[in-house]
Structure 1
Amino acid sequence: MKYPLILGFGIVAIDVIVWRFRLPAHEFSRLLLRLALFSVLSWVLFWSGLSPFTQAPDLNAVEQHWLGQVLEIIWWLMAARLLTLSLDTLLLPSAWRRQRLFSDVFGAVVFLAAVVAALGFVLELPVRGLVATSGALAIVLGLAIQSTLSDVFAGIVLNTTEPYSVGDWVMIDDVEGKVVEMNWRATHLLTGQGNTLIVPNAVAAKAKISNNSRPANVHGLSLVLEIEPEARPKTVLDALGQALTGCNAILAAPAPSARMKRTTLNSVQYEVVGFVDDMNKKLNASNELFDLCYRHLAASGVALRALGMPAPTPTAHDAREALLKRVSLFESLTGDEITRLAARLSRHEYQANQQILASEAVPDSLSIVHSGVLAVTYAESSGSREIARIGPDETFGETGLLAGLPMHVSIATLTPCLLYQVSKDDMTSFLKEHPQVAKQMCQLLAYRQDAISKLMTAIPVAKDTDHSVFQWLFEKVRQLHSLRDDS
Structure 2
Amino acid sequence: MTSTWDASWFAWAIGVAIGLPIALVILTEVRAALQRRGSSLALPVSVVRNYLLPLGALLLVLLKATEISAHATPIRIVSTAFGFVLLLLALSGLNATLFQGAPEGSWRKRIPSIFLDVARFVVIAIGLALILSYIWGANVGGMFTALGVTSIVLGLALQNSFGQIISGLFLLFEQPFRIGDWVDTPSAQGRVVEVNWRATHIDTGSGLQIIPNSVLALASFNNLSRPAGQHVMPVVVQFGFDDPPNDVCEVLEKVANSLPQLAPGATSACVAVGEGKYRTSIPLTSAGERSPAKATFLHWIWYASRRAGLHLDDADDHFTTPTRMTTALRLFTPTLHLDDDDRRVLSAVARLARYGADETIQAPGHIPTRVTFIVTGHIRVATLDAHGAMVDVRTLREGDLIGASALTDEPSTTAAYAVGEVTVLQIQRRDMKELILRKPLLAHEFGRVIEEFDDDVRRALGMAQ
2:281 equivalent to 1:276: no
What SS class does the counterpart of residue 31 from structure 1 fall into? coil
1:201 aligns with 213
- The AA in structure 2 aligned to 1:199 is I
1:67–1:398 Cα change, 3 Å: farther
Q: Which runs of 5+ in 1 are unaligned?
A: 12-17, 263-267, 323-332, 349-355, 370-375, 389-394, 412-417, 433-437, 447-451, 464-468, 470-487
The sequence identity of aligned pairs, in percent, is 19
Please state whether the residue corresponding to 2:201 is helix, strand or coil: strand
Residue of structure 2 equivalent to 1:127: 140
1:337 to 2:331 alignment:
yes
Match of 2:102 in 1: 91
Q: What is the CA distance between 1:133 and its match in structure 2?
A: 1.9
1:214/1:396 CA distance change after superposition, 3 Å: farther
Question: 1:315–1:82: structure 2 CA closer, same or farther, 3 Å change rule?
Answer: closer
Q: Residues 162 and 99 from structure 1, CA distance in 2 versus in 1: closer, same or farther, beyond 3 angstroms?
A: closer
Higher radius of gyration, 1 or 2 = 2
C-alpha contact 2:110 2:173 (8 A) present in aligned 1: no
Q: TM-score, normalization: structure 1? A: 0.57
| Deviation (angstroms), 1:272 | 3.0
1:315 and 1:364 map into 2 onto residues whose CA distance is 23
> What residue in structure 2 maps to residue 293 of structure 1?
301
Shift of 1:459: 1.9
Query: Equivalent residues in 2 for 1:315-330 (5 A)?
Result: 317-318=321-322, 321=325
Aligned pairs for 1:394-405 within 5 A: 397=402
Q: What is the distance in 1 between the residues matched to 2:320 and 2:404? A: 34
Shift of 1:36: 0.7
Deviations 1:185-218 (A, max 9, x none): 33332323352x3333322222112121122212
1:483 equivalent in structure 2 = none
Structure 1 residues 25, 236: CA separation in 2 closer, same or farther (over 3 Å shift)?
farther
Secondary structure at the aligned position of 1:458 is classed as helix
* Kept after mapping to 2: 8 A contact 1:399/1:455: no
Query: Which residue pairs with 1:114 in the alignment?
Result: 124
Q: Give the equivalent residue in structure 1 for 2:90.
A: 79
Q: CA deviation at 1:144?
A: 3.5
Partner SS state of residue 105, structure 1:
helix
The 1:155–1:261 alpha-carbon spacing in structure 2 relative to 1, beyond 3 Å, is farther
Q: 1:302-451 maps to which residues of 2 (within 5 A)?
A: 302=310, 317-318=321-322, 321=325, 336-337=330-331, 343=343, 366-367=371-372, 397=402, 407-408=412-413, 420-421=428-429
Number of residue-to-residue matches in the alignment: 374
* Range moving further from structure 2, 25-34 or 204-213: 25-34
Change (3 A) 1:245 1:191: closer
1:219 and 2:231 equivalent? yes
What RMSD over aligned residues (CA atoms) do the two structures have, in Å?
5.7
Go from structure 1 to structure 2 and tell me whether the alpha carbon gap of 1:71 and 1:358 turns closer, same or farther (over 3 Å shift).
Answer: closer
Does the residue aligned with 1:173 lie in a helix, a strand or coil? Answer: coil
Match of 1:177 in 2: 190
For residue 31 of structure 1, report the CA deviation from its aligned partner. Answer: 2.2
TM-superposed CA distance for 1:396, in Å, is 8.5
Q: Look up the SS of the partner of 2:41 in the other structure.
A: helix
- Report SS of the residue matched to 2:228: coil
Closer, same or farther: CA 358–198 of 1 in aligned 2, 3 Å: closer
Contact persistence 1:408–1:456 (CA under 8 A) = no
Other-structure match for 1:35: 44
CA displacement, residues 351-404 of structure 1 (integer Å, 9 cap, x when unaligned): xxxxx999699x8983579xxxxxx997979xxx8989xxxxxx98458699xx
State the partner residue of 1:164: 177
1:145 to 135, 141, 158: 158
